[in-house]
Structure 1
Amino acid sequence: MEHPLSQFKYCPKCGSKHFNINNEKSKQCADCGFVYYFNPSSATVALILNDKKELLVCRRAKDPAKGTLDLPGGFIDMNETGEEGVAREVLEETGLKVKEAIYQFTLPNIYVYSGFPVHTLDMFFLCQVEETSHISAMDDAADAFFIPLTEIRPEDFGLGSIRQGLVKFLSALK
């Protein structure tokens, strides 16, 4: 896969076309000296269990991996904490209100959006919600429903970090 820095042809500070590879993580402008480091974007993933020990899953409404299973979550906005971001994403995608988000672990991922590989650092949170009786699939979710933990098949989930995260989460429960 082509490195994402190759997509950046012009300096984002001054617009110069003399924006060259500095090292494997950055480019530098020969005209103004600006150095741009390509770092991952922050994203969240919600692990929500109900009283029956079932996991809330969504069906993706959009590419990448449209139609496959997913977990609620998404990109963190500017000036937002991971906990705030996961709570917002859960509300936007399911209508559920997060009472508490407990950090679990992170996994790197590459999320291809509009043909561009977005490197992400996916933060997984175990979330407690106010109630689960009023789930509504919204935003990026075509459907939202609970699956018993014993029926979770990571291979049914379309994104690599979600599959890896489910394996890690489920093995920790054993």
Structure 2
Amino acid sequence: MHPLHQFKFCPKCGSGRFVENNFKSKRCENCGFVYYFNPSSSTIAIIVNEKNELLVATRAYEPAKGTFDLPGGFVDMNETGEEAVIREVKEETNLDVSEAKYLFSIPNTYIYSGFEVHTLDLVYLCKTGSTCNLKAEDDVEKLQFIKMQDLNPELFGLRSVKEVIKEISNRDDLK
């Protein structure tokens, strides 16, 4: 079901005459406001150590609690993707990112508070200094490094992250 079905009232004037305009939008028959449903931006951090191991998080909360994930999260308003991935890595791992290099993007859906959020996940290769301050924080239960050749996409709970793991497993440029 399309996510717009959950929007019953015009967010501008509150009218209940908020109807389908096209596949991507609804239009208010009272005030004329048109709302387009677009994806939210999110980030995913690829952090590889000198042993060619990937930093993997275990999710502490739903969705996909207890499954593997990669550090990252939603981009805040007035924040670039690079700023967001640097902030999210700090919040979740206590690591400082010295460089964030954009790799690729991938669409995803993410259930938050019972609502299906469509996202565009921006994937970054992140360089960090020492990992001696590594600590699972925020919504992360555990952090560990896993050898790239031992990664199993099926152990990752979010669809887009599974696809990211498949993609990076075939790349030689991640060191």
Q: Normalising TM by the smaller chain, what interval?
A: over 0.9
- Where does the alignment leave 5 or more consecutive residues of structure 2 unmatched? none
Q: Distance in 2 between matches of 1:87 and 1:37?
A: 29
- Counterpart amino acid of residue 130 in structure 2: E
Distance 2:25 2:54 in 1: 40
Q: Distance in 1 between matches of 2:146 and 2:167?
A: 17
1:172 Cα deviation after fit: 2.0
Q: Does 1:155 align with 2:158?
A: no
Provide the aligned length of Structure 1 versus Structure 2: 173
Equivalent residues in 2 for 1:74-89, closer than 5 Å: 74-89=73-88
Contact residue 56 and residue 145 of structure 2 kept, 8 A: yes
**Identity across aligned pairs (percent)?**
57
Shift of 1:68: 0.2
Aligned to 1:33: 32
Match of 1:20 in 2: 19
Structure 1, residues 83-136: CA drift from partner, whole Å, max 9, x if none?
000000000000001000000000000001111110000000000012212111
Unaligned runs of 5+ in 1: none
Tell me, yes or no, if the aligned pair for 2:149 and 2:169 is still in contact at 8 Å. no
What is the match of residue 173 of structure 1? 172
What RMSD, in angstroms, separates the aligned Cα atoms of the two structures?
0.9
Q: Report the TM-score, using the length of structure 1 for normalisation.
A: 0.97
Aligned mates of 2:23, 2:90 — CA distance in 1: 38
| Counterparts of 1:3 and 1:26, CA distance in 2 | 10
Counterparts of 2:114 and 2:172 in 1: how far apart (Å)? 36
Partner of 1:66: 65
2:43 corresponding residue in structure 1: 44
* Matched position secondary structure for 1:112: strand
Q: Does 1:98 align with 2:97?
A: yes
Cα deviations by residue, 1:34-88 (Å, 9 ceiling, x for unpaired): 0000000000000001111110000000000000000000000000000000000
Contact 2:41 2:121 (8 Å CA) reproduced: yes
User: With structure 2 as the length reference, what TM-score do the two structures score?
Assistant: 0.97
Question: Residue 11 of structure 1 aligns to which amino acid in structure 2?
Answer: C
Is structure 2 residue 130 aligned with structure 1 residue 116?
A: no
Contact 1:44 1:73 survives alignment (8 Å): yes
Q: Structure 2: how far apart are the matches of 1:130 and 1:3?
A: 43
